[in-house]
A and B are shown apart, each in its own frame.
Chain A
Amino acid sequence: MNAFSAGLTRFIPLLLGALLLAAYTLLPVVIQPERGATTPYVLLENRANNELELPTAGLQLVAMAALGALCLGVWNVLAPQFGRAIAVLTALCGGLALTYFIIFARDYAAEEATYLASLGPGFWLMLATAGLLLAQVLLPRPRPPARYAIMRVLGNQEGVLLLTVLAMTIAVGIANPRFVAERNLSDIIMTTSYIAIAAIGMSMVIITGNIDISVGSLMGLLALISGRVSLLTDWASATFGLATPEARGLVIAVSWVAPVLCGALVGALIGFAVTYLKIPSIVVTLGMRSIIFGGMVVWTNGERVVDMPPEYFLAQMRPLNIPMPIYFMVVLVIVAALWMRYSAAARALYAVGGNAEAARLSGLNERRVIMQAFILNGVFAGVASLLYATQFQTIQPTPQPNVELAIISAAVVGGVSILGGTGTVIGAMLAALLLNAIRSALVFINVSPFWVQAVQGVLILLTVLADIFRRRRQST
């Protein structure tokens, strides 16, 4: 690359960002001067107050993308050594603007479509600029020294996920401020929490090179067990005369611990079948899935569990005004992450998943390690099901559909390799958060909820592809 093109590359993000911003702010005025000068306001003002009096809130996404690209462009000029990272972020801005133009303006909000149509060539200019912002990522750039923190962040799955979650929250929050309202955010985290907790256990199982597709059914069963035990408070007080609050508290405590213990038991059973009976885990858990599912419906006769005692609802408690599941998620993820990183027992999980033969030769008991992973998976499934069971006033007699899909997806998107040996639980938590936040975000920018799953599918694929390409590059 010669000096001239290198110099040009250095200014391209800035130029494109400026162009998009200019098009966004100036063109409406230049092209249709009869509308009057709104220039100073258009950036900050919600275009609901625009001259057409149309609610075009989503357009602000384009303004944000333009501003973002502009700032990144300035940064690129000042610090070209970050060129690659900046190029990726700038492309994200372009992608954001494009997404808005292509999907939403065309068929969702008729008012915005009208407004954009009234811009005529200005619309096409914005569209083309956004496309160029996306395309500039393909320009050749010098490989940066690896010591910059930003490259390290972009170099691992957790960093990418965190940035994506933040970028999405900010972007959607600007388009529709109700998305970032405290209530909605805590809703998202609440629904994420039990998926994330179950994903911790799933990560451990997948890291050892196994899989558990029965975890959804198991969680349904454990929730029922927990609920049924809590119903015993009245029975216990009647039978043993345990009417004191302490005794009631004891029964409630048992109902909280029961799913965790039962989960560990089922996990041990699966682990036993996988390690000692040598049945591949996918087959064992496929069988367990039908056994648990059917057994559960037979046991409950398809009846919901209701009328749990008021003290039972752990997930509804809000110490310090923060919902309980958030504490559980944060504490468990931190503990598990530290454990996975620093304890010998957890490093054995990676060793067995990475190379079972080598692990065996270095004296690890492979069976015990895999057994341990499945038991822990059962424990985390137990905690997750407890949070799920105590969230609402009723417990359904059937497992939530596709919950194992959500859990496995979270683990995989979080960077846990299905081939075993790599991955972290923080990644799994962030992925669970992202998959759930996307569901909510699409609703807030008025995408039909019917498309949510398709978007999630694409997202799973994209993150997995990113992971594969990154590994390929690191290994060469």
Chain B
Amino acid sequence: MFMAEQAASSRPNTPPPGGLRQFLLSQEGVLLLLGVAMVLLLATRSDKFLTVDNLLNQGRLLAEIGLVALPMTYIIITGGIDLSVGSIFGLCAVVLGFSWQVVGLPLELAIVVTLITGALAGLVNGLFIVRVGVPPLIMTLATLAFYRGLAQGISEARSVTGYPEWFFGMGQGDFLGVPQQLWVLALATLVAGIILGLTTFGRALYAIGNNETAARFSGLPVDRYKLLIYTFSGLMSGVAGYIFVSRVTTTRSDMGSGLELDAIAAVVLGGTSILGGSGSILGTIIGVILIQLLKNGLALTGVTTDATTVVIGVVLIAAILFNTFIQRRRAQ
């Protein structure tokens, strides 16, 4: 696909990059149009949908997936994948609860321990992938089982509740009228977007995804970068786990099961190629928002959750189909 794009951009009669037309034909543009159309359609079906309250509340719900989807975008751009994020999420939730209630750490310190746990879990993934050469899919499949197993083993099916009041601020509180976790997500998105789009580190990720050997021979520190993004993925899963515990006020070991697939779906829907080499943070965030609004809007118009699952599956495949169609047209 990369070759095709290159061939296309070297043609004299293709429009110069940038411009509205270019954006509208990109996956992000298509998604944005689709999203706006969908919002308008759903707004006519339910008057509760397009209200500030509802939308902010949806923001609360999508923050966790969003936070996990950001590093997932990086990883998928390099041609890798991280299936263990849901399990790290659950492990971090359990570590948070048990290091506070059972070990007896102060809650502030427990949060720090949780984040370190997440980063370490990601680092372990990265080390095996980079140093030993285990394919990312297999490595994170193994740790998908292992981290979830650790969470189950530590918690032994007990849940932790009874957190102090201040702890719920992150999950339930507002800052300047907007849910706190949305600020976190917005900040993280901004930073992640800038890093990916405007730094050499970001460009290197694309280079790795397009041709890892070439990237290595061009002197890019491929191993260090990969280690970084998998660690980052673990860390963000930890942050998301912390926010989730704060939102639902309890800790259980099965938290975050299937989160990895939701995050991957959002990333892929956002136009990031699962084969690596292309994608953007903007697309990912639009993907995350689109899925959440679709869920919420359909639920408000009386569609069951399970039928919504079907719709999301169809949208995912259709969006990718449309994207490949456009890519092929452009390549011709």
Contacts and interface: CB of A to CB of B under 8 A. Distances in A.
Interface of A: 211, 213, 273, 277-280, 282-284, 286-298, 401, 405, 408-409, 412, 418-419, 448, 450-458, 460-461, 464-465, 468
B134 A452 contact: no
A412 to B, nearest CB: 6
Contacts of A457: 142-149
A334 to B, nearest CB: 27
A277 B320 CA distance: 10
Contacts of A460: 141-142, 145-146
Contacts of A464: 134, 138-139, 142
A291 B146 contact: no
B108 interface: no
13 contacts: A277-B321, A280-B275, A282-B264, A290-B265, A291-B309, A294-B311, A297-B306, A401-B257, A409-B145, A412-B141, A451-B153, A453-B145, A468-B133
B152 A454 contact: yes
Interface string B96-139: 00000000000000000000000000000000100011110111
A454 B153 contact: yes
B314 interface: yes
Nearest to B148: A453
Q: Which 7 A-B pairs have the closest CB atoms?
A: A457-B146, A454-B149, A294-B309, A453-B149, A290-B313, A457-B145, A291-B313
Contacts of A280: 274-275
B306 A294 contact: yes
B141 A450 contact: no
B299 to A, nearest CB: 13
Contacts of B145: 405, 409, 453-454, 456-457, 460
Interface in B46-105: 81
Contact of A298 (B147, B155, B304): B304
A298 B149 contact: no
Given A287-B313, A453-B152, A457-B142, 17 more contacts: A280-B274, A282-B264, A283-B320, A286-B268, A288-B317, A291-B317, A293-B306, A294-B306, A294-B307, A294-B309, A297-B306, A405-B141, A418-B137, A454-B149, A456-B145, A456-B149, A461-B134
Contacts of B265: 286-287, 290
Contact of A468 (B132, B264, B309, B313): B132
Contact of A419 (B132, B135, B153, B275): B135
Contacts of B261: 213, 286, 289
Contact of A450 (B152, B305, B320): B152
A284 B137 CA distance: 16
Interface in B293-324: 304-314, 316-317, 320-321, 324
B212 to A, nearest CB: 13
B141 A291 contact: no
A213 B141 CA distance: 12
A290 B312 contact: yes
Contacts of B307: 294, 298
Nearest to B136: A418
Given A287-B316, A401-B257, A450 B309 contact: no
Contacts of B128: 461
A216 B115 CA distance: 32
B228 interface: no
A451 B306 CA distance: 32
B135 A451 contact: no
B21 to A, nearest CB: 25
Given A464-B134, A465-B132, A298 B310 contact: yes
B156 interface: yes
Contacts of A456: 145-146, 149
Contacts of B147: 457
A450 B153 contact: yes
B85 to A, nearest CB: 14
A242 to B, nearest CB: 35
Contacts of A279: 317, 320-321, 324
Contacts of B308: 294
A472 to B, nearest CB: 8
B71 to A, nearest CB: 18
B274 A450 contact: no
A249 B321 CA distance: 44
Interface in B199-258: 257
Given A289-B313, A294-B307, A297-B306, A283 B268 contact: yes
A295 B265 CA distance: 18
B310 A291 contact: yes
Contacts of A284: 317
A277 B132 contact: no
Contacts of B331: none
Given A293-B306, A294-B308, A458 B146 contact: yes
Output the residue of B138, B141, B150, B310 with the most chain A CB within 10 A. B138
Given A298-B307, A409-B141, A283 B274 contact: yes
Contacts of B137: 211, 418
A244 to B, nearest CB: 40
A455 B149 contact: yes
Interface string B160-204: 000000000000000000000000000000000000000000000
Nearest to A401: B257
Contacts of A409: 141-142, 145
